[in-house]
Amino acid sequence: MLFRLVTLAALFGLLFGFDEGVIAGALPLITAAFQISVTGEGFMTAAVPLGAVAGAVLSAATADWLGRRMVLILCSVLFIVGAAASGLSGGLGMLVAARLLLGVAIGASALAAPMFLAELAPARYRGAVVSSFQLMITLGILLSYLMDLALEPFGAWRLMLLLGVIPAIASLVGIAMSPESPRWLTMRGRSDEARAVISQIQPQLSAAETDHIIEEIAQSQAAAGSARNWGDFLSDSVRPVLIFTMLAFVFQQVSGINAVIYYAPTILGHAGFEGTGTQLMATVGIGVVNVLMTLVAMGVVDRFGRRPLFILGFVGTAISLVVIAYATQPDRPDLAPLGLFGLFAYIAFFAVSLGPLPWLYMSELFPLALRSRGMALASVANWACNFAVVFGFPVVVAHFGAPATFAIFAAFCATGAVFSWVYAPETKGVTLEEIELRYREAPA
Mean pLDDT confidence for 273-290: 80
Distance CA 181, CA 158 (A): 37
% of the chain with per-residue pLDDT over 70: 95
User: Phi and psi of 429, rounded to 5°?
Assistant: 70, 15
Q: Is residue 203 classed exposed, middle or buried when 0-12, 13-18 and 19+ CB atoms within 10 A define those classes?
A: exposed
CA 405/CA 25 separation, integer angstroms: 22
* Interacting residues of 123 by C-beta distance below 8 A, sequence separation 6+: 429, 430, 431, 432
pLDDT higher than threshold 90 for residue 232: no
Which range has the worst mean pLDDT, 316-325, 345-354, 366-375?
366-375
**200, pLDDT greater than 90:** no
Does position 219 have pLDDT exceeding 90, yes or no? Answer: no
Whether 15 has a pLDDT exceeding 60, the answer reads yes
Amino acid letter, residue 121: A
Residue type, 86: S
Query: How many Cα neighbours within 13 Å face the side chain of 43?
Result: 10
Compute the distance between CA of residue 329 and CA of residue 404 in angstroms, rounded to an integer. Answer: 9
- Given a cut of 80, whether residue 411 has pLDDT beyond it is yes
Q: What is the pLDDT of residue 2?
A: 67
Hey, what domains does the chain have and what are their CATH numbers? 2-178+225-441 (1.20.1250.20)
| Amino acid 137: pLDDT | 85
pLDDT tier, 9 (very low <50, low <70, confident <90, very high otherwise)? low
Between residues 36 and 320, which one has the greater pLDDT? 320
Q: Is 287 helix (H, G, I), strand (E, B) or coil?
A: helix
> Cα–Cα distance between 354 and 442 in angstroms, integer?
26
Residue 42 pLDDT greater than 80, yes or no: no
Top pLDDT among 316 and 93 is at: 316
The four Cα atoms 247, 250, 256, 257 give a dihedral, to 10 degrees, of 90
pLDDT at position 220, please? 67
Q: What is the rounded distance in angstroms from the CA atom of residue 347 to the CA atom of residue 352? A: 9
- pLDDT attached to residue 444: 45
User: Residues with Cβ < 8 Å from 317, sequence gap 6 or more?
Assistant: 255, 346, 349, 350, 354, 410, 413
Q: Does the pLDDT value for residue 429 go beyond 90?
A: no
Longest Cα–Cα distance in the chain: 70
Selection from 9, 62, 12 nearest residue 373 by Cα: 62
Least confident of 221-225, 390-394, 398-402, 426-430: 221-225
Mean pLDDT of 264-268: 76
Instruction: Give the pLDDT confidence score for residue 187 in this predicted structure.
Output: 82
CA distance 411 to 254: 9
The amino acid sitting at 79 is F
pLDDT band at 228 (very low <50, low <70, confident <90, very high): low
Does residue 279 register a pLDDT over 80?
A: no
Its pTM stands at 0.78
CA distances from 120 to 23, 126, 181, 239, 404 (A): 33, 8, 6, 25, 44
Q: Confidence band (pLDDT; 50, 70, 90) for 368?
A: confident
What would the pLDDT profile of 282-340 be if each residue is shown by its tens digit?
888 888 998 999 889 888 888 888 999 999 999 999 999 999 999 888 878 788 889 88
pLDDT at 110 over 50: yes
Averaged pLDDT, 136-140: 87
Higher pLDDT, 359 or 99: 99
Mean pLDDT, the chain, rounded, equals 85
182 pLDDT band, cuts 50/70/90, is confident
Whether residue 369 has pLDDT greater than 70: yes
**How far is C-alpha 224 from the geometric centre of its chain's CA atoms?**
28
Listed as own residue / partner, the contacts of 418-425 with beta carbons closer than 8 Å and 24 or more positions apart are 419/247, 419/251, 419/314, 420/251, 420/307, 420/310, 420/311, 420/313, 420/314, 421/311, 423/244, 423/247, 424/244, 424/248, 424/306, 424/307, 424/310, 424/311, 425/244, 425/306, 425/307, 425/361, 425/365
| Mean pLDDT confidence for 264-292 | 79
In the structure, what pLDDT confidence band is assigned to residue 441 with cuts at 50, 70 and 90? low
Please give the average per-residue pLDDT across 85-105, as a whole number: 92
Please report, in angstroms and rounded to a whole number, the separation of the first and last CA atoms in the chain. Answer: 41
Residue 205 banded pLDDT, cuts 50, 70, 90: confident
Which three-class secondary structure state does DSSP give residue 431? coil
DSSP string, 12-68: HHHHHHHHHHTHHHHHHHHHHHHT--HHHHHHHHHHHHHHHHHHHHHHHHHHHHH-H
273 alpha carbon, distance to own chain's centre: 28
pLDDT band at 440 (very low <50, low <70, confident <90, very high): low
